[in-house]
Amino acid sequence: MPSIPHCLLSLALGFLGLLGIILLCATTRDMEQPPPHKYGIVIDAGSSRTTLYVYKWPAGKENDTGIVSEQITCNVRGPGISSYAANLSGAGKSLKDCLNKAVKAIPSDRHAETPLYLGATAGMRLLSQTDPKATKGVLDSIATTLRSYRFDYQGARILTGNEEGVLGWVTANYLQENFVKCGLFGRWINPVKNTVGAMDLGGASTQISFVPTDKEIEDPEKEVSLRLYGQDYKVYTHSYLCYGIDQVKKKVLAKITSGSGYVSEITNPCMPRGYSTNHTQEFIFGSWCTENERAQDYSPKQTITFRGSSDFETCYRIVSSIFSFSPCNYTSCSFNNVYQPEVTGDFLAFAAFYYTVDFLKVRLKRNITSPNELREASSFICKMSFSELKEKAPNVSETRLVNYCTASAYIHILTTDGYKFNNQTFKNIAFQKKVGGSTIGWALGYMLNLTNAIPAENPATWKVQMLGAWAVLIVICILVIAAGALLFALSYHSGKNDSVL
């Protein structure tokens, strides 16, 4: 029969073991429940449309940068904010529907600390060139609306081209998990991968950004240094104002119209046979990008009728004429005497790059894996009549449908003669809209950069609590081992005394 000391020791061991299990379970539960999330709102005010994004990330950050994910996306109704130059109050009002959705998506107790930021891109950069007063009025209207919400208003301003480009690069690499990824047991790790380049094509500008193999970037204005997730990066980036898809269309129309004496009807080789449309001279030459093409007898209200002829070769020559490929005052250039190092590595091409190439691949069933295949696809679509195009894509709007010829020819020239992709490097371009459910663009990159400036929420306290719990558990384990050793010693001596008797 066990002795009383043995019974008491067994009870003590059982108690200590149960306490250890309870503490271990509680500690494990604490590990699986990180601090509450924080939220941020970024409004991307592009030249042709505005989009609101709500992001969230853990309050405890990883290497000074939050693990940010896209929660909701809301497309603002109507055109880009630059179109409100004559209706300033309408700029702010246009954002309210999407802002109200953000109010519902974010917990109310987080509203006051949720940063709210609007960044305007090339559309507003163009407006600032022609009408600074209207530009200020649009931004003031937006600021008034944003301040009326309980969010932490951070400002509404126009991004520089380099900011837009490099933040798009940050987004592309973050979504590819080149900076950080989730490893074993939910820990975030830095995979130390090579980065991908980013190519963005909007309505008023286009950007290219990548980490070059060259040790030195010849033009310091095109170098941006970043630190994300404990790593340093030097990124080449450049934005080409007036080379977004909408402005390219106007530049092409200006080339076609120039020298015609502003006749009332002109053949447009980039439009399909059987289609015609009217444009005023103001629509064509009213942009800062085309005003230098105006003739002396410029008449803003005069209407010109353009009739399509489906002439690919002529269209291609006209689109090429909006570029200047010489001279180059650096060791290497893209176009318009802009320095660019040799493209290297993989690239993500998004926005209008994606929409145009996706149309060629899906609607026309064309492979796009080389420059030649892209040119052949462009030739194929440019030679089609309007009725043939409608048969291929009956659900696509006419305005968008008739511009695919210009867009595809432009993308071919831009990527090959402009950015200097060849048969080998072109294969490294992936034309994508999203990665893992998140949109590729500058907005997410901005939120990632912004989280560097937001302090983590009580991360030290959380870690101390965790360490304290584990310390107690270690002490209990030591006590259990010591008690076990004591029990063994008592049993040994008890057995020895029994044998003597």
Question: Residues 283, 289, 295, 297: is their CA dihedral positive or negative?
Answer: positive
The pair of three-digit structure tokens given for residue 249, joined into one six-digit string: 């269309």
The answer to whether the CB of 204 falls within 8 A of the CB of 244 is yes
Three-state SS string over 27-80 comes to HHHHHHCCCCEEEEEEEEECCCCEEEEEEEEECCCECCECCCEEEEEEECCCCC
Q: Count Cβ atoms within 10 A of the Cβ of residue 347 and give its class: 0-12 exposed, 13-18 middle, 19 or more buried.
A: buried
DSSP 185-204: GG-EE---PPP-EEEEE-SS
Q: CA nearest 101: which of 43, 47, 168?
A: 43
Catalytic residue among 62, 70, 163, 164: 164
Q: How far apart are the first and last CA of the chain?
A: 16
The answer to whether the CB of 228 falls within 8 A of the CB of 188 is no
Distance CA 105, CA 255 (A): 48
The answer to whether the CB of 290 falls within 8 A of the CB of 254 is yes
| Helix, strand, coil percentages in the chain from 3-state DSSP, rounded to 5 | 45, 20, 35
Give me the count of residues in the chain.
501
Distance CA 132, CA 128 (A): 5
373 catalytically annotated = no
CB atoms within 10 A of CB 295: 14
The answer to whether the CB of 275 falls within 8 A of the CB of 386 is yes
Distance CA 202, CA 277 (A): 23
Per the omega criterion (within 30 degrees of 0), is the bond before 327 cis? yes
Point out the residues that are catalytic.
Answer: 164
